[in-house]
Amino acid sequence: MTRVLVTGMGGELGTRVAQLLEARPWASEIVGVDFVPPRRRLRRTEFRRIDPRDREKLAQFVETYAPNVIAHFGVYEPSSRMTPRSAIERTDLCTIATLSAAARTGQLEYVVLRSGLEVYGPRDAHASIPDEDVVPAPRTPYGVSLLDAEGVGAGLRTRSGTQVCALRYAPVLGSHVPSPLGRLLRLPAVPVPAFGDPPFSVLHPDDAALAMVRAIERRYDGPLNIVGPGAASPWQAARLGGRVPVPVLPPFWEAAARIVEIAGAAIAPHVVELMRHGRTGECDRAIDALGLTELRSTQEVLRELFDWAQIVPLATAREAVA
């Protein structure tokens, strides 16, 4: 019997993982924390609303609960649901407070944490498709913050021998997943690089959640890339959604980011990095280790993202009933 703590349960992925855990008998107790409530109805999960900035309260709660397993989604993407600064602050506080408090109880056996391909930095000529052995070299605040979170996990492994798995997700896109990349691609006009059209891969939220649950079940130790097969390019993705691609010359990305922000999609540096240099990773190790044979392809995920934008607004449906 396993007591599981899901941090960041108010996010899309945290909620989905909780749903999957509820269907698994080995998860005897499921408890979640976040500063916003879960996004769907959960049956046997207990939720505590604690803001990671209230570090003592969070640490105290974790210590009292003494989890065996932590599914750490308290890693927040800048410009996704909050400003870059508060996302990084919450990530740092949540990671350190939760992991160190859980380690103190002596009950902790396994930690799986959300990381991202952003840790590899801009895609370069030497490792177009990085595997887990490529040395991370993040160049954006989000990439650095993910690597810091992985570092806290690695420290825990060294000190207490706890197994730690870092899931380096490709950007998770879905019709109702808050994501700066998803918002950018759904603008009427999408900035794309004027020279070159670099490939990037994305991931379906259900696959991201399943990977985390499988990691817990199989107790994989170490980092794993989780990437939807195949790739898209900024220009192609914009056209797939019927958007107008607007070529941007290298010196004007800063200005493009400002304009896009005014248009309603705040884009953080890691999103600009993706558009300009591409982002992908080799997923073979995760497919073998976690049995992820049915990952949805990048193009499938993109089609789903754009399909949703064409759904008839609810008001029309209501009028039809009346």
Partner 1 sequence: MTAFDYGLDVERAGPAEPLPTALRRRFEGRYAFDGFGLDPHLADLARPVVSTVVRVEVSGEEHVPAEGAAALVANRGFGIFEPAAIGVAVHRATGRRLRVVGAPNVPIVGSIFRRMGAISDSPRDLAVALRAGHLVAVPLAPTWLRTGAGTPPLPLMVAMTHARIIPVAVTPGGPLGTMVRPWRVRFGPLVTLPDPYDAGDPLTAARFAEALRDSVASLLREP
The residue ranges that bind partner 1 (CB under 8 A) are 125-129, 131, 134, 195-199, 201, 229-233, 235-242, 278, 280-284, 297-300
Helix (H, G, I), strand (E, B) or coil at 68: coil
Is residue 2 within a helix (H) or strand (E), and if so which, with residue range?
A: strand 2-7
Residue 112: closest CA among 10, 12, 1, 210: 210
Q: Smallest distance, Å, CB 195 to partner 1?
A: 4
Q: Smallest distance, Å, CB 130 to partner 1?
A: 8
Closer residue to partner 1, CB minimum distance, 145 or 280:
280
Nearest 5°: the CA angle 30, 35, 38 is 50
Helix (H, G, I), strand (E, B) or coil at 41: coil
Closer residue to partner 1, CB minimum distance, 135 or 322:
135
Q: Smallest distance, Å, CB 300 to partner 1?
A: 8
Q: Smallest distance, Å, CB 11 to partner 1?
A: 27
DSSP character at residue 129: S
Rounded CA-CA distance 122/124 in Å is 6
**Can you read off the two tokens belonging to residue 189?**
């006009």
Closer residue to partner 1, CB minimum distance, 57 or 285:
285
Closer residue to partner 1, CB minimum distance, 50 or 170:
170
Closer residue to partner 1, CB minimum distance, 162 or 233:
233
Pair 4, 25: CB distance under 8 Å: no
Rounded CA-CA distance 102/177 in Å is 29
Closer residue to partner 1, CB minimum distance, 59 or 226:
226
Rounded CA-CA distance 76/146 in Å is 9
Pair 57, 31: CB distance under 8 Å: no
End-to-end CA distance of the chain: 51
Q: Smallest distance, Å, CB 97 to partner 1?
A: 37
Closer residue to partner 1, CB minimum distance, 30 or 283:
283
Long-range contacts made by residues 130-139, C-beta under 8 angstroms, separation at least 24?
A: 130/225, 130/281, 130/282, 131/225, 131/281, 131/282, 131/284, 131/285, 132/168, 132/222, 132/223, 132/224, 132/225, 132/282, 132/285, 139/273
Provide the CA 137 distance to its chain's centre, in angstroms: 18
Residues 6+ away with beta carbon under 8 Å from 173: 179, 181, 182, 185, 202, 203, 204, 205, 301, 302, 305
Closer residue to partner 1, CB minimum distance, 294 or 319:
294
Closer residue to partner 1, CB minimum distance, 60 or 297:
297
